[in-house]
Structure 1
Amino acid sequence: MQALYFEQFGGVEQLKYGELPQPQPHDDQVLIRIKACGLNFADIYRLRGNYHIAPHTPYINGYEGAGVIAAVGTAVTEYQVGQRVFFADVPLAQAEYVVTQPEKLIPLPDTISFKLAASIALQGLTADFLAHDLGCDQPGTTVFVHGLTGGVGQILAQMLTADGINVVGVTGSETKRQLALKQGAQQVFLRTDDWIKQVQVGTPIMTVYDGVGATLADSLAIVQPRGKVVFFGMAAGDPAPLDPVKMLNSSKSLLTGDLWDYLDSGQARLKRSQRLFSYFQAGKIQLTAAQQFSLADGRAAYQALLNEHTGKIILTL
């Protein structure tokens, strides 16, 4: 099979594209022919050697993709050859074929393309659990989202808007500001301005969604008393230590969560993915078109991820 792989840690120059042995499914496994797979910053960290990566010789990156079942083990009854599926946590995904346990797979309806599935598997399911398990915001309340035009931010903001929640947020450029407004945000501040003060004198914020990390103290400063900050990532670095006594005195809460603690069964994956897909099927979430690269052009895709970009980057086969 063809695969994007690397033999030692480092930069994008370590990536190679070529022929590797095709994996064979065990009796309890499924073989998927990949049609599209997602590219995430975690893949950059794995390439550099400072993030967990599945043991394999040579290394193959990627955990997110969509495709068609090419073969099933003799003990597998849930899936059949030819069925469309997608996944968010199957290692070695940046290749022509990948094997996995059937409980890691999610059926893909005909109304969702392989490219869209690869674009929203990880970020979309993350947005879903943030909104519906941690935030649990009521219609009519106002929430704040960092990184409104990022992978999670675009989906989360539109999901919350579709649920009747007022979304405001902050982004880094006027172009991104206009995109967020077009996608339904009611007010968008620029990081180059005194956005914290502007938020504090505006409509009270019930919930802040923070995947930036370094902005966690700012998030606690802008949320109203009895409000909460949903902390789910460190895109710009680790947050400074917090004083829980100050949070206690201002009646503010900090919530955290890991997606994999919520995708804890095949049924949970199915239920959550169906809820996610319903927003797209109803036209309630519109994303900027994903940047597409062939798997053979993997180096260029990784470099594009490191450069300034908006939306998702996917690899196609």
Structure 2
Amino acid sequence: MKALYFNEFGTPDVLQYGSVPDPRITDTELLVEMKFIGLNFADIYRRQGTYHIKKNTPYIDGYEGVGTIIAAGINVTKFHVSETILFVDVPLANAQLVAVPENHGIKIPASIDFKLAASIGLQGLTADFLAHDLGQNKPGDNVFIHGISGGVGQLLSQMLTADGINVFGVTSTEEKQHLAIKQGAKKVFLRNSKWLKQYAGSFNTVYDGIGSTLNQSIQLLKHRGKVVFFGMAGGNPPAFNLIELLNQSKSILTGDLWDYLTSYSERKSRSQRLFGYFESQTITISAPTIFALSDGQEAHELLESGRSTGKILLRP
């Protein structure tokens, strides 16, 4: 099969496209022929060597995608050959064929097309976990999202809005600002505008997947507010003063989706809740940017540049 792979960590230049051995499935695995593969910031970190990656020769990045089952192990009972499924946590996904453990497969409702499923899988389940497990906001709360027009940001903003929560945020361009407002945000600031001082102490919750903005997030909180910290797309977080947090009853919550997405039933119930927002048309997303898998270098460069809006997909 063909795959996007690399032999050493580094810039997008280390990525190569070529032939590698086909995967072999076990009795409880599915052999999936990929239609779309999701590109995520975690894939950038893996390529750079700063995030866990499955040992393989050569390294093959990617953990998320949509594909059609072309073979199944003899003990598989939940899926059948020719069914198209989503997965969000299976390694070696940047390839034509992927071995998917049965319990990691997610059924796609007939109302959700495959490109949409690939565009909302990992980011959508992340947004769902941030909103419903960590944030737990009440209708009428005021919340702030860094990177509101990014992959997770778009979904999280609309999910919270649909749940009756007032959403504010910040983004980098007027185009992204207009998109976030169109998707229901109350107010969206540009990153270079002087809005921080005016809105300090205004929010029940700040969702921060940027990392380098952590001190800003703390400033934006009301007393007894909480930062939901979930990523470092903009770099490592700075040091912060725990005593100041204590004195203002502010807190920082973190979490790993994989501590919640622990079984087939968890994947099923959480994905059904996510798909429900789209079936009721309370969430929409911008069209994904699609690259051929062979053009993976360009896709990585675009994601790292910060110029992309929404999801980047790779297509074998």
TM-score scaled by structure 1? Answer: 0.95
Aligned counterparts, 1:175-254, within 5 A: 175-200=175-200, 204-254=202-252
Partner SS for 2:237? coil
In the alignment, which residue of structure 2 is the partner of 1:279? 277
Number of aligned residues = 315
Partner SS for 2:198? helix
In the alignment, which residue of structure 2 is the partner of 1:316? 315
In the alignment, which residue of structure 1 is the partner of 2:106? 106
Q: Tell which deviates more after alignment, 97-106 or 126-135.
A: 97-106
Partner SS for 2:291? strand
User: Any idea what the Cα deviations from partners look like across 1:17-60, whole Å, max 9, x if unmatched?
Assistant: 22222112111211111110011122222222222211111111
User: Structure 2: any 5+ residue segments left out of the alignment?
Assistant: none
Cα RMSD, aligned residues only: 1.4
> Letter of the aligned partner of 2:261 in structure 1?
L
* Correspondence 1:153 to 2:143: no
Percent of paired sites with the same residue: 55
- Cα distance in 2 for residues equivalent to 1:10 and 1:244: 35
Partner SS for 1:161? helix
In the alignment, which residue of structure 1 is the partner of 2:72? 72
User: Structure 1: any 5+ residue segments left out of the alignment?
Assistant: none
In the alignment, which residue of structure 2 is the partner of 1:40? 40
Q: Tell which deviates more after alignment, 54-63 or 107-116.
A: 107-116
Counterpart contact for 1:149–1:179, Cα < 8 Å: yes
Residue 110 (structure 1) shift: 2.0
Residue 233 (structure 1) shift: 1.0
- Cα distance in 1 for residues equivalent to 2:243 and 2:189: 30
- Cα distance in 2 for residues equivalent to 1:102 and 1:238: 35
- Cα distance in 1 for residues equivalent to 2:160 and 2:166: 8
User: Any idea what the Cα deviations from partners look like across 1:77-127, whole Å, max 9, x if unmatched?
Assistant: 122111221111100101111002111111111222222122111111110
> Letter of the aligned partner of 1:281 in structure 2?
E
Q: Tell which deviates more after alignment, 307-316 or 4-13.
A: 4-13
In the alignment, which residue of structure 1 is the partner of 2:93? 93
- In the TM superposition, structure 1's runs of 4+ consecutive aligned residues that sit over 6 Å from their partners are none
- Cα distance in 2 for residues equivalent to 1:110 and 1:59: 34
Q: Tell which deviates more after alignment, 167-176 or 302-311.
A: 302-311
Aligned counterparts, 1:5-16, within 5 A: 5-16=5-16
- Cα distance in 2 for residues equivalent to 1:310 and 1:27: 40
In the alignment, which residue of structure 1 is the partner of 2:135? 135
TM-score scaled by structure 2? Answer: 0.96
- Cα distance in 2 for residues equivalent to 1:12 and 1:231: 27
